[in-house]
Structure 1
Amino acid sequence: MDRNTAIGIVLLFILFVIWVFINSPTQEEIEARKLERERQEAQRTEQPTEMDTASQLEADTVTEDFIAEPSTIDTAQLKSERMSQFRSLYGPFANAAMGVQEEEIILENEHLRIVFSNLGGRIKEVWVKKHLRSFLSEDMEEMRDSLFLMDHPGDRFEYFLQLRQNNMTVSTGELYFDHQLQNNTLVFRLNAENGGYFEQRYTIHEGSYALDYQLNFVNLQNILANEPAPVSLNWVNYLNKLEQNTGYERYFSTVYFKEDSRRSSYCSCRRSDTENKANTPLKWISHANQFFNSSLVAKETFHGGFLETVMLDESAEELKILRSRLDIPITMGNTSSFDMTFYIGPNDFERLQLIGHDLTDIVPFGWSIFGTINRWVVRPMFSTLMNWTNSPALVIILLTLIVKMALYPLTYKMLYSQAKMSALKPHMEKLREKFKGDQQKMQMETMKIYREFGVNPLGGCMPMVLQMPIWFALYRFFPASIEFRQESFLWASDLSSYDAIVYLGFTIPFYGAHISLFTLLWAGTTVLYTHYNTKHMDMNAVNPMMKNIQYFMPIMFLFFFNSFASGLTAYLFVSNLVNIAQIVVTKNFIFDEEKIKAQLELNKKKPKKKGGFQARLEEVLKEQQRIAEERKKKSKK
């Protein structure tokens, strides 16, 4: 290689180094490319919003082409073209899409630790400090850990802003808010190019699960569309499984809402469901699990909304998907505000009652008369007993005793009616011998005997019927009351869930994969109670099918109650023990059999009133007897 060739190669190398140096991206360009890649990745993983999808895809394509060769464009041009693209997507809020990284900010008190994100100015996670999530491990061991709400990656809490410019809709979930933390108040501000802004203001209070939540619109009257509700909230909530018994948790979880000046309602709990409340003033909306909820209560009213519950397969990690679209009314002017209360926490009746507006309706005590009994009879009684004992297990025992003693007059009448019928057994035996084989004649003569001695055959049934509203109310009370959640009693570790004395390792259809001991004890004592209660009664006149069904019913209910709240099955078991004790004491120490027989003889001598239920029943039996005899005569011909 001669001298000139060597000099040429060196010069070419120097020129190549200079070319690479000049055309290599600056540090600012590298950061810009990194931010773009992160934004594209986030957009691929997020659920689609109601933005203009076609223009979004076009913008993404242009942006990808634009950053493919950043070395050929200077930084100023890069910023200019990026801003142009963002302005086509976000209009006067384009600056909020550039050059900012996501940050987390925390508001906290003794009940809640709330993590916010400046991306969208939304809640990213809520730790409910004084409650735990309950679940079963793979080894069927009951486990508990920290309980979080509103923390799913698929959750959305964003506002759609309808703009005058090209009828554009902007999602705040894709924009970065400026933020300022002032003691217990966190302010997020989304600035517009004209100096106006959209502001979210959260204020947390000590000792409370409720936040003051305020939206402020300042100098946006020329930016937002001139409509009654140019802003709408898109709230998507993937509910976590928080309870061990996910079957009942799924049944009690849904979207609740209240129309202004009307009673509250809800989407179906058993299936996917929607409620279209467009242009219908709504006072509040609640995304509720069995024992926890996140609710927005408007100071005035929302302009309307669209609500949805989406059922998921039982094998899914999440319980359900709840969606709410709420229209926010705004008065066009320099400044407009919309005030709300944001409750995030347990379904505590007293706390929800303080917020007002019937928000307590999200506690699933039931509707109609049963819900009324639970809310205004059973619950106050339970609360009073809790203040005395501070033990839900002891309250169940005391509540059982109070209910049974309150109903004892009805029980006494039932037992007295049975005792009178038992005293008539010798008469019934004579009738059975006299009308052997003629069931209808036997029934008719039996009714005559009852009427003659002043015995009401239905006297033992009516007290049972009158107790049924209380039983149905308690059926809803125990799995709805958070006071029983994760409270133990004997072998039951959670009175709001089933008590599993053993896990089977396999599933029995309609029964489950575990055995509830309280349910077994209830069924056993029910059979014992039935046997003792009827052994002195004349059961020969009773249809054999009806006689056997009273023993079959407890076995059938084993399947129903096996996965139910152990608080209820414990109550039913203790109630059976009290029933048996009342029967034994009443029949052996209160009733005098000789006095009952003497009273029956006195009733026989008294003049009988015409009419009444028994007389009508006798007439019906006589008519049936006449029809049966006519048929018999026709068949002989």
Structure 2
Amino acid sequence: MEEKKLDVKTIFGFVLIAGLMIWMMFNNISKEKEAMAEDAKKAKTEKIEKAKEQAVAAVVNDSTQTDSLKVKALQGSLGAFAYSAALPSAKDNVTEIKNELVTLKIANKGGYIVDAKVNNFEQFHKGSGKPVQIIKDNNANLNIQFQTKDNRVLNTKDMYFEPTVTKEGANQVVTMRLKAGENQFLEYRYVLKPNEYMMDFGIRTQGLNEVVNTSKPLDLDWQLKAYRNEKSISYENRYTDVRYEYEEGKDNSLSQTSKLDEETVEGLTYVAFKQDLFTSILLTETPIKGAQLKSENLVNDEEKDTVYTKNFAAKLPLEFKNGELNYAMNWYYGPADYKILNSYDKNLDEVMPLGWGIFGWINRYVFIPAYGFLSGFLPHGIAIVIFTMLVRLVMSPVTYKSYLSQAKMKVLRPEIAELNEKFGKDPMKKQQETMKLYGKAGVNPMAGCLPAVMQIPVFYALFQFFPSMFDLRQKSFLWAEDLSSYDSILELPFNIPFYGSHVSLFPILASIAIFFYMKMTTGDQQMSAPQQEGMPDMGKIMKVMLYVSPIMMLFFFNNYASGLSLYYFISNTITIGIMLVIKNYIVDEKKIHAKIQENKTKDKPQSKFQKKMQEMMEQAEAQKKAKK
């Protein structure tokens, strides 16, 4: 047998592949070494910082040393700020302020809020006894990192502020000062007013231009790891995101679904860490240049990741003016309630995902006032039912127009079928004759589409409306204990992908209602609209959608707010009733047929659209003959 010899090209190919594999192997090893070195460096830095922190804490808590000895011992680590660490207030104490709506605790260490409770609201289930807390157990921090003139890098979150509690009329005032001397300090000032979720917050310095490097802005880092507060973590996480205002009134948000999303924003005037139905918002009167915002999704497995939803971070550069900082700000901790946020007249209603353009307009000026009026004297479940009836009543003329168009097309079907048979081999001629028939009969084939298009803004606005209605939270109706969450009637011992581990009843009822609604409309459309040559068979598509749409709704809405599912169930049921009334008592197909026949005897001028279509068809026909 003759041996096969490898040619030069084959050998070269093998060598090239081997070389590539070796390069990839070494490259991966190099990257792994770099990553390990970076991790080791980070761990070493954290270890050093931890050791410094422990050393400072040891000196601060040493009751045997005098203040002067403490200052001397701490100067090596803190420089001029050893003065603050040696004060009697340098302890891990907190100062509590509260009003009827919120309870806040501010720590000496770091000078920031370490506990924020929204009074009168509970987690998950009403009666659970667990209060809604936006901040607790070190899930948030506020830090300013600065460089001193003797080249030390210090973080305010690790240093001790001196608290002072005063009153300004009915307002509670907490002043936290990080001191480098008696008249040299960084100050956080909190002012809580009665019956307000919004408080005043100020940052200023005095005399620190002699201690701190003021040649570049200081970064204010605000970080919050969002706690879960609602029954469905997947639904809550869907509406948990970073929202912000910039450039004098523009608004935007980071991605709700991405694993990680970051953005650099110019002219920032507020940033909101929105946690579905609650939110914390930091506002500034002086626009922030080059603000860096970040959102990280923490829910990888809904069965395991059940405590936190997202990790938020905002880095806000604070600029010196005449060697000092002076920023007037506000801080909001409370419900993500449209009425409350809108009352502050600071564009905070944009924190609510009410939709853009016409969708948001419908929600703000029609649906929210209408539903607010009804829920003012009716239980929320009944208010949703009445609200739905009103919406369907207002939209009933559109439903009538749509059904009337379908009835006209149904009457014309036999004649259209004749044209299809007569001109089956000449699609252009068939289309021309079909358009002539429509023109003589006074029928617009697009009339059935326009009503459906008109309903889209209402449909989408309502889809945004219900998840944004804070008033539905923990309000019960029938078997649903919370209209802002799912209405579970059965807990499953297993999890179904994309569905969940429970069965909600309102989505089942809504799916059944939409099935019968589509069955009614699909049947009429199939009867009225013959298939056009070269076009997809709409009859088959509608048959598939008849079964796919209810199943999609069943899966999609199983974890959604039961108030939204209740709306769709009532809405589709009412629409079915309206269509039955129109079909049996208002629209008479015999009268429509007689009217169409009468229209055919009249010389009705063509519309501009019909003339244009006729000209286009005639030109196409002429080109076709010319080619032949």
- Settle same-fold status: TM greater than 0.5: yes
- Mapped to 2, the partners of 1:240 and 1:562 lie a distance apart of 23
Q: Which whole-Å CA distance do the structure 2 matches of 1:422 and 1:206 have between them?
A: 66
Match of 2:134 among 143, 146, 149: 149
Partner of 2:221: 234
**Displacement of 1:612 after TM fit?**
4.8
Determine which of 386, 408, 412 is the counterpart of 1:424: 412
CA pair 444-507 structure 1, distance change in 2 beyond 3 A: farther
Pick one of 561, 572, 578 that aligns with 2:574.
578
- Residue type matched to 1:153 in 2? N
Report what 1:91 is aligned to.
79
- 2:278 maps to what in 1? 292
RMSD between superposed Cα atoms in Å: 3.8
Contact 1:155 1:236 (8 Å CA) reproduced: yes
Matched, 1:602 2:602: no
Please state if 1:545 is matched with 2:547: no
Deviation by residue 1:23-53 (Cα, 9 ceiling, x = unmatched)? xxxxxxxxxxxxxxxxxxxxxxxxx999986
Amino acid at match of 1:256: R
Asked if 1:162 corresponds to 2:147, the answer is: yes
Residue in 1 that maps onto 2:448: 460
What is the Cα deviation at residue 113 of structure 1?
1.2
CA deviation map 1:128-164 (0-9, x unaligned):
112221179xxxxx96731111113242212223322
Classify 1:97/1:570 alpha carbon distance in 2 versus 1 (closer, same or farther; 3 Å).
same
Aligned position for 1:26: none
Which of 376, 386, 409 does residue 365 from structure 2 map onto? 376
Counterpart in 1 of 2:3? Answer: none
8 Å Cα contact 2:510/2:568 also seen in 1: yes
Cα distance in 1, alignment partners of residues 488 and 616 from structure 2: 51
The alignment partner of 2:215 has SS state of coil
User: What is residue 201 of structure 1 aligned with on the other side?
Assistant: 189
2:462 alignment counterpart: 474
| Alpha-carbon spacing, 1:306–1:425, altered in 2? closer, same or farther (3 Å) | closer
| Cα distance, 1:95 vs structure 2 | 3.0
Secondary structure in structure 2 of the residue aligned to 1:86: helix
Q: In structure 2, which of residues 133, 153, 164 is the aligned counterpart of residue 180 of structure 1?
A: 164
The counterpart of 2:355, out of the listed 356, 366, 386, is 366
- Paired letter, 1:249: E
1:147 aligned counterpart, secondary structure: strand
Q: Which amino acid aligns with 2:144?
A: Y
* Identity, % of aligned positions: 30
Residue aligned with 2:229, SS: coil
Given the superposition, is the C-alpha separation of residues 614 and 558 from structure 1 closer, same or farther in structure 2, using an over 3 Å criterion? farther
Partner SS state of residue 319, structure 1: strand
Q: Contact 1:97–1:174 at 8 Å: present in 2 too?
A: no
Deviation per CA, 1:216-261: give whole Å up to 9, x if none. Answer: 32232312223353x3322111110112221232222222222242
Alignment correspondent of 2:34 = none
Q: Paired residue for 2:313?
A: 323
Structure 2 vs 1, CA of residues 83 and 368 (structure 1 numbering), >3 Å: closer, same or farther?
same
Q: In the alignment, what sits opposite 2:230?
A: 243
Letter matched to residue 341 of structure 1? N
Aligned to 2:553, which of 557, 560, 569? 557
Q: State the alpha-carbon separation in 1 of the partners of residues 367 and 313 from structure 2.
A: 33
Query: Relative to structure 2, which stretch is displaced further, 207-216 or 308-317?
Result: 308-317
Q: Which residue of 2 aligns with 1:6?
A: none
Residue 403 of structure 1, aligned match among 376, 385, 391: 391
Give, in angstroms, the shift of residue 618 of structure 1.
Answer: 7.0
Residues 1:559 and 1:104: Cα distance change in structure 2 (over 3 Å) = same
8 Å CA contact retained: 2:522, 2:546: no
Aligned residue number for residue 33 of structure 2: none
Q: Distance in 2 between matches of 1:385 and 1:330?
A: 51
Greater mean deviation of Cα atoms: 464-473 or 351-360: 351-360
One-letter identity of the residue aligned with 1:364: P
Q: Deviations 1:158-202 (Å, cap 9, x if unpaired)?
A: 222332232x23222222222222242222222223532222221
Q: Which has the larger radius of gyration?
A: 1
CA distance in 1, matches of 2:400, 2:438: 19
State the partner residue of 2:202.
Answer: 214
Q: Does the 8 A contact of 1:330 with 1:338 survive in 2?
A: no
Instruction: State the distance in 2 between where 1:275 and 1:120 align.
Output: 27
Alignment of 1:47-196 (within 5 A): 56=49, 83-84=71-72, 86-98=74-86, 100-134=90-124, 145-166=130-151, 168-183=152-167, 184-193=172-181, 195-196=183-184
Q: 1:567 to 1:63 in 2, by over 3 A?
A: closer
- The runs of 5 or more residues in structure 2 that have no matched partner are 1-40, 532-536
State how many pairs are aligned: 568
- The one-letter code of the counterpart of 2:370 is M
Letter in 2 for 1:560: F
Shift of 1:406: 2.1
Residue 257 of structure 1 is matched in structure 2 by 244
Counterpart secondary structure, 1:93: helix
Letter matched to residue 416 of structure 1: L
How many angstroms does 1:432 deviate by?
A: 7.2
The residue aligned with 2:14 is: none
What residue is the counterpart of 2:339 in the other structure?
Answer: 350
Counterpart of 1:265, as a letter, is N
Q: What amino acid does structure 1 have at the position aligned with 2:251?
A: S
Q: CA deviation at 1:566?
A: 1.9
- What stretches of structure 1 of length at least 5 have no aligned partner? 1-47, 137-141
Partner Cα separation in structure 2 for residue 273 and residue 356 of structure 1: 29
Q: Distance in 2 between matches of 1:192 and 1:353?
A: 41
DSSP-derived class of the 2:236 partner: helix
The answer to which of 452-461 and 282-291 deviates more is: 452-461
Deviation of 1:497 after TM superposition, in Å, equals 2.1
State the 1:617 CA deviation. 5.9
Secondary structure class of the residue paired with 1:221? helix
User: Contact between 2:164 and 2:175, CA under 8 Å: does it hold in 1?
Assistant: yes
SS at match of 1:326: strand
Task: Identify the residue that residue 19 of structure 2 maps to in structure 1.
Answer: none
Shift of 1:342: 0.8
Q: Is the 8 A contact 1:56 1:89 kept in 2?
A: no
- Displacement, 1:575? 1.0
1:520 aligns with 508
Partner deviation per Cα, 1:398-448 (whole Å, 9 max, x = no partner): 322222222222222112222223333554566677789999987765554
Match of 1:341 in 2: 330
Q: CA separation in 1, counterparts of 2:419 and 2:579?
A: 29
Q: 1:159 to 1:226 in 2, by over 3 A?
A: closer
Counterpart code for 1:131: F
TM-score by length of 1: 0.79
Instruction: Kindly indicate whether the alpha-carbon contact (under 8 Å) linking 2:204 and 2:327 is maintained by their aligned counterparts in 1.
Output: yes
Describe the shift of the 1:203–1:458 C-alpha distance in structure 2 as closer, same or farther (beyond 3 A).
same
Q: Distance in 1 between matches of 2:385 and 2:101?
A: 31
8 Å contact from structure 1 (residues 178, 188) kept in 2: yes
